[in-house]
Amino acid sequence: MKSIIVLLLICTINIQSQEIKSLELGSDLPLGEIKMVDISEKEISMDDSKGKNGLLVMFSCNTCPWVIKNQSRMVSISEYATKNKVGVIIINSNETQRDDVDSFEEMKKYSKNQKYKWSYVIDEKSKIANSFGATKTPEIFLFNSDGKLIYKGAIDDNPGDVKSVKREHLKIAIDEMVKDKDVTVKESRSMGCSIKRAS
């Protein structure tokens, strides 16, 4: 009986993911002006977070096992983006867990533990995630200096095992973008927990 319930839950998550249309490559940054509460207790928008060479948007949270698998990679690529004058903003869209593991206080603790140097903000009612069509944590969207989406998906080709990574998709995309080259791999499959939207 338990296995049937688990399968039903997985199917429901997959159906919900299929119903949400992901932002198309080449699209403009949506809702860039919307202010969100950051762990610094200031209000920050994606527009505020842009760097000279673009913006890296990462949908994440505090406790998803896939986020935990990618923690060191998220910090490392954020540092790399910053070094290359690409702004970084990390967005928590788990609306149904605001009184629990994804509360503002837990976000503060998590970011301190991970030594975040970037904005980590609350996406109220998951409106930013909805505008992106983001369905998972972690999930990546990279925009160039013109605010156009040039890469989306995962950090690399093996989200489940850092030791088996053969291609660092996001790092290469940043390199190509900064050098004004066409991004060779524009999309990859992100693996993660479903974003906990309010019903």
- Which CATH number applies to 23-194: 3.40.30.10, 3.30.230.70, 3.30.720.110, 3.40.50.300? 3.40.30.10
pLDDT tens per residue across span 171-189: 999 999 999 999 999 999 9
Per domain, the residue ranges of the chain are 23-194
- Nearest 5°: CA angle at 80, between 189 and 114? 80
Could you read off the pLDDT of 110-155 as tens digits, one per residue?
999 999 999 999 999 999 999 999 999 999 999 999 999 999 999 9
- Please give the full DSSP string across 114-173, using - where no structure is assigned: HT--SEEEE-GGGHHHHHHT--EESEEEEE-TTSBEEEEE-SSS-TT-GGG----HHHHH
Tokens in use for 54?
């673009």
Kind and range of the H or E run holding 37: strand 36-37
| Average predicted confidence (pLDDT) for the chain | 91
Instruction: Work out whether the CA dihedral 32, 179, 163, 108 comes out positive or negative.
Output: negative
* pTM above threshold 0.85: yes
Instruction: Say whether 55 sits in a helix, a strand or coil.
Output: strand
